[in-house]
Amino acid sequence: MRCLPGYGYGLTFLFLSTVRNEQKELNISPVHDVNIPKATATFGMGCFWGAESLYGATRGVLRTTVGYAGGSSDLPTYRKMGDHTEVLEIDYDPTVVSFKELLELFWNNHEYGLTTPIKRQYASMILYHDEEQKQVALASKLEEQERRAPEVITTEIASKENFFPAEAYHQKYRLQGHKDLASSLNLTPKLLQTSYVATKLNGYLAGVGGIEQFRAESETMGLTPTQRQYCNYHVEQNEGQGLYC
């Protein structure tokens, strides 16, 4: 494995100090907020870590947050989820990616549970936000059922009534594995739920999207040259790897 210049096989204090100097000298800050009109989708696809990476690196996706929804209990946690399901909430720019296109990713990227019954925590679920989403989801499920017959799709389609963000250690799980990079982005527990740059990097660093797409989108993230070099290396190393939890 090739070393990054000056960093050995892991990030060091040198990385953080270099990034801080670049941020100051080049007047560069991580882009956490983007002022773009958005729509929201909510999906359950099994374990939510892989789904968050998948959608994070999808063009037009602005924010992802993992959490719990679809149940009746109040204030669920990972240890006490009750009848809720692990879900991903996605804010997206509908002028770039449509709800139907998001559904295409949904049908084709379940880790498990799409056509086999599974416990409620990992159920396949589409929680619609309005009548239009409901009709698109129902039509999409019919099309997918025809395609997959004789298998039977288990996906539940219901109105989104609640959403409880998961604990901070679940948010942007793949990005948090790159501890010094995450530190250099000034991420708070709240920003782990809402940050644009964290959303995008959590996908690209897991191998989604590919190096060319990353290079095109990286201009929007507020990365310094050193951060970008680090990300380029890991995006190239992980490109094409399967998502997993």
Q: Exactly one of 3, 47, 231, 245 is catalytic; which is it?
A: 47
Q: Counting Cβ atoms within 10 Å, is residue 214 exposed (0-12), middle (13-18) or buried (19+)?
A: buried
Contact, 111 vs 244, CB < 8 A? yes
d(CA 57, CA 197): 10
d(CA 16, CA 23): 10
Per DSSP bridges, beta strands 61-69 and 124-128 are: unpaired
User: Where do we find the tokens 């190096």?
Assistant: 211
What are the residues whose beta carbons fall under 8 Å from the beta carbon of 22, sequence distance 6 or more? 28, 224, 225, 226, 227
Cis check: omega of the bond before 165, within 30 degrees of 0: no
Per DSSP bridges, beta strands 85-92 and 61-69 are: antiparallel
| 47 labelled catalytic | yes
Q: Which residues are catalytic?
A: 47
